[in-house]
Structure formats: C-alpha cells, structure tokens
Amino acid sequence: MPTKRARCESPAAVCSERPRPGKDSAGDSDSDSNCGSDHDNNGNPDAPECLPARCALLQPLTEAALEALNRSTPAEADCAPESALSMSASATSTSADDLETRRKLMAYHIHVDTGANMPAKLQAHIDTHITKERRPEDTVSPHAHAAKVREDSAIHSLEPALMAGLHGDDEASFPGVAADFKCRLSRALLPPGSVEVRRAYGALAQPEADCSYGYATRYRTAAPSSPVFTSQQETKLHAAGLDISSLQLFPFLTAQWKRPSGTEGIHHAQTQSARDGAAIVNLLHRLHGPNAALADTCHFSCATDGEQVQFFVHWRAAELDGDAPVAVHYMKWLDSLSMRKPADMRKARNVIKNIAAYAVGPRLAAIGAAIDACAIPQQKRHAPTESDAAPTAVPAGIPADAPAGLFPSPRSSVSSRPTRRQKT
C-alpha cells in the first residue's frame, strides 16, 4: 500500500566508435558544447583554439604520468582574465537556472539528492554488489586538460579509460554490453505530471545521456553467436516498445559530462542525470511490473566535470501526494571521487566494474525471465496517459494472462527526425 509522503519544502558498428571531438549530436541539447564563451562557434580562425583531445593520451595511463600531468596543468592565474570574467558573470544565472530546474523536477516527482533515506533493501544491494572491493587495477585514468577542451573532447579523452570494459568492442569488455553516445530516451518514459503541473511548468526536456552503457542488441552485436537476448525476446521488446534504440537495451549506467570551466558545471549534470535515471527506472518498472525488487529496477549514473566524478543511484517509490497515489522518483548521492588522485580513480573504476558485473549477472537474468514470462501485446502501442505512471496502473488492452510488466509505450525517437530540446 502506498505510504503517505510529507509534502516537500525544500545507446551497429556504425555507432560503435568513440565520440569524435567537435562532433555535435543531432538536435539541440541543454549541455554545454562549446569551449567557452570566448570561442567563436562559427569556425572563426581568430577564436581561441581548443586543446586537441589526443594530447591527453600521449602519456601511458600510469600513476607517474598522472602526477606529471597535474604538475603541468597551468595555474588559474595564467588564464586570460577576460575568460575568467566571462565565467564569473554567467555563474549566478546558471545556478539560478539549475535551481529552477530542480524545482520543476520536484513538481514532476523527481527528487535530486534531497536527503531522502534509501530503502534498506536497496542499501543492502549496494553494499553487497556495488561498493565491494575488487582487485585493484595497475592503470588509472589521468586528469587530462579537461578545463581547456570542449565537452565532447573531454569525453573523448577521459571516457575510454574511465569506462574501460563497457564498450563491447574488445576482449576485455564485459560480455554482451555496448556503449551508446548521446543516447536520447523517449519523453514518454518521464513522469507525465498532473495537468496543473504541465500548465505551470511546461513539459520536461527530453532525457539524453552523454554516455549510456547497456546490453547490445542483436543488430549491434559483432559476433552473431553471442547476443544477449534471443530473437524472440527482442521481438517481444519491440512489440511492447521497450527497445529504446536499435543498438542498446536496458542501460545500467549513464553518464553526464561537463567542463570545470564551463558555464554548465557538475550541478547541471546532476539535473540531467535525474531525468535520465527517472526514465530508465520507469522503463524497468514497465518490464518488471509494480511489485518488482529494487535491485531489478534501480539505475546508476555518474556526473563528472573532468575534475571529479560523482555516483548516484535512482529508484522509484509508490507514495501518496495528498490522497492521490503517485510514483516518486529519487536520486541519491553515493560518492564523489577526484579524477586527479590515483587512489580515487581506482575506487571509481571499482564501482563501475561492480555495476557492470552485476548487470551482466543477476540483473540480466531477471530481465530475461521477465521477458519470457510476458506475452507479446496484440494491440498497437499508444502514448501513455497520466494513469500509466501511477504505481498500480495497467493500461487497457493488456492480455488477461500477461503479467503486470511489459507495458506498451512508444519507442524512443532515436531513429526519427530529432526535435529541438527545451532547456530546463
């Protein structure tokens, strides 16, 4: 039974390449994609040049290289004063925008690290599987000159080392996983909000993860003999609208990247991660049903600005807003680690590998069982209504012998013509 909640005050081979510096994703994004406010976005040769991302990987990924890179990083006093003034001038407005965005997310029942207590079963899952110690690695991701490059260049420089093993393109990768960049999730996976909330705040922006790590589809898998799901399972997911893209299924980790000196910092990355996490948690609830275990429906994300990486866990709870049952989405901080410290980077890699190891083990088994237990919906997929997001709601037309999971919903617009995203 929903609990009474106090009112708050306060993704084919064509896509398997790493993102290239300077290559923007289709459609507008609310993430920072420029080198800085002083740069000419029209290719003006007189504009300051970004440091090439490849410079960050000239040295081996060793502890000695990390220390050398840290010593060679220019001091803040060496930066152009005009650039510093420009960053300072935008800091207040960016912070105000982020606060307003969090207020809007809260109206849609998405709470960004508000201090909510984590359910005991979820805490036990994290302690047992996510934060346990693993064999330490000999190499770590260096702190590249992330403050001097574009956001996509920073991703290109740091992401391969930080997320090693999650790309599915080498023997060292976890089996059956795949990475997708600029992964756009359907707005239909977001909480719909009440009529009053939509009128007062407008619709939420489309969630788009800078990097997403999930299970490779049969189309994406390089070796036909090693797909994660069977052809029949993927057919069921397609019929139900749960295949968010043709490349990746059920992401288990998403990431948002920013620059330390950009106008959109780590705080903005957190709000973007909140939308990503809420959408994926809802996707998992549509598969498993309203009574699924927290370990099967939670999601993990990280936000980084090249200086630090923060880890979060996302989950959903059935609660009451007044007398109305609502699905409340929570995002809770797990850890913050410095990308300059080798010990911290080993700890970050430990968490990432634990998340992936559980994802290709118990999580994948639970997803496969849920798919096998569900019948293929016979009716056409429809756009969800507000009742679809209610904790116990089951859309009309589901076969009587089908479990509560596998709710029909529209597929992501990743293969359709991109639309302009709202800034929220």
- Cβ distance 414 to 11 under 8 Å? yes
C-alpha to C-alpha distance for 283 and 289, rounded to whole angstroms: 10
The mean pLDDT of the chain is 72
β pairing state of 308-321 and 177-184: unpaired
pLDDT band at 277 (very low <50, low <70, confident <90, very high): very high
Single-letter amino acid, residue 420: R
pLDDT band at 356 (very low <50, low <70, confident <90, very high): very high
* Dihedral angle computed from the Cα positions of residues 118, 184, 238 and 289, in that order, rounded to the nearest 10 degrees: 20
Using CA of residue 256, residue 208, residue 147, residue 85, what is the dihedral sign?
negative
Burial class (CB in 10 A: 0-12, 13-18, 19+), 59: middle
pLDDT 10s digits, 166-203: 988 777 889 999 999 998 999 999 999 999 999 999 99
More confident residue, 371 or 323: 371
pLDDT band at 398 (very low <50, low <70, confident <90, very high): very low
Output the six-digit token pair for 318.
Answer: 């059935």
pLDDT band at 221 (very low <50, low <70, confident <90, very high): low
Q: Is the pLDDT of residue 136 over 50?
A: yes
- Cβ distance 63 to 142 under 8 Å? no
